[in-house]
């Protein structure tokens, strides 16, 4: 029998993580942390993105959140306002639709269906854009479908967002949760070149209009990045 309920991880927590947690308790390292996370963790996240993903940010651009739900809330808070619309995948993680409603925004589902290989249909996406559309949310590897978008799909989605001056929020938290015998997540398939988190991106536009900005999150249900002049990584 295959359970299709809540996605509870079946693997035990790694021993070195358990030891590190126990050692922190024993040191009574239990005080409040800085709002953006402890400096060693922020440095480690920045180093990981540079070393493993080929994506360079400074630790000053890294901010730690308490899980993926907070990261999504922050990313959407940065990019949406009451009455604005965000294109979200269907099927998708329920928080994709709940968070914009919490902010007074409107989630607009775009289908991921079998005839299109469970990938977005660009023609259908075009038909969903209105003057109120502000963002496109992409989820690859997909929850719950497990689909990994190929390079052509990613490039087409970015071109679509650029044409309509949309933020792109990219949920890539399942970087390490793919069937490696079937899928191999290539760097070119990931908008951040990391597949680790939520990112929001607005394309560069002309003078006097909004400048390029980023908002995203890093990790398996980890953070967000964003800033007026470069990436801001929020990781949990």
At 142-190, the pLDDT tens digits run 888 888 888 889 899 999 999 999 998 888 788 776 654 444 445 444 4
pLDDT tens for 119-130 read: 999 999 999 999
Question: What is the crossing angle of helices 68-79 and 95-102, to 10°?
Answer: 50
Label residue 115 exposed, middle or buried (CB < 10 Å: 0-12, 13-18, 19+).
exposed
Please tell me the predicted confidence (pLDDT) of residue 235. 65
Q: Which range has the worst mean pLDDT, 1-10, 36-45, 95-104, 145-154?
A: 1-10
Residues 6+ apart with CB under 8 A from 187: 53, 54, 193
Please tell me the predicted confidence (pLDDT) of residue 19. 96
Measure the CA–CA gap between 34 and 200, rounded to whole angstroms.
24
77 SS3 class: helix
pLDDT tens for 187-226 read: 444 454 333 344 444 444 443 333 333 444 433 333 333 3
Answer whether 170's CB lies under 8 Å from 191's CB.
yes
Q: How many percent of the chain have pLDDT more than 70?
A: 73
Measure the CA–CA gap between 167 and 137, rounded to whole angstroms.
8
What band does 12 get if pLDDT is binned at 50, 70 and 90? confident
Please tell me the predicted confidence (pLDDT) of residue 233. 63
Measure the CA–CA gap between 231 and 56, rounded to whole angstroms.
9
Residues 6+ apart with CB under 8 A from 32: none
Measure the CA–CA gap between 119 and 66, rounded to whole angstroms.
30
Query: Which domains are delineated in the chain?
Result: 35-235 (3.40.640.10)
The tokens of 96 are what?
A: 């994709």
- How distant is the alpha carbon of residue 202 from its chain centre? 14
């Amino acid at each position: 029998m295959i359970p299709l309920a809540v996605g509870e991880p079946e693997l035990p927590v790694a021993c070195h993580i358990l030891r590190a947690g126990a050692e922190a308790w024993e040191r009574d390292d239990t005080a409040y942390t800085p709002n953006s996370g402890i400096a060693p963790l922020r440095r480690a996240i920045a180093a990981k993105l540079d070393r493993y993903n080929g994506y360079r940010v400074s630790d000053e651009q890294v901010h730690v959140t308490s899980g993926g739900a907070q990261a999504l809330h922050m990313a959407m808070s940065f990019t949406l306002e009451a009455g604005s619309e965000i294109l979200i995948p269907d099927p998708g993680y329920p928080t994709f639709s709940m968070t914009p409603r919490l902010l007074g925004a409107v989630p607009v589902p775009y289908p991921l269906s079998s005839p299109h290989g469970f990938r977005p249909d660009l023609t259908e996406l075009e038909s969903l854009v209105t003057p109120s559309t502000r963002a496109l949310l992409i989820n690859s590897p997909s929850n719950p479908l497990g689909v990994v978008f190929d390079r052509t799909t990613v490039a087409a989605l970015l071109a679509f967002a650029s044409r309509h001056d949309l933020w792109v929020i990219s949920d890539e938290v399942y970087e390490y949760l793919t069937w490696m015998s079937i899928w191999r997540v290539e760097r070119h398939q990931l908008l951040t070149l990391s597949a680790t988190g939520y990112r929001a991106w607005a394309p560069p536009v002309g003078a006097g209009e909004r400048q390029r900005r980023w908002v995203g999150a890093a990790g398996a249900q980890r953070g967000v990045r964003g800033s007026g002049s470069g990436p801001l990584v929020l990781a949990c």
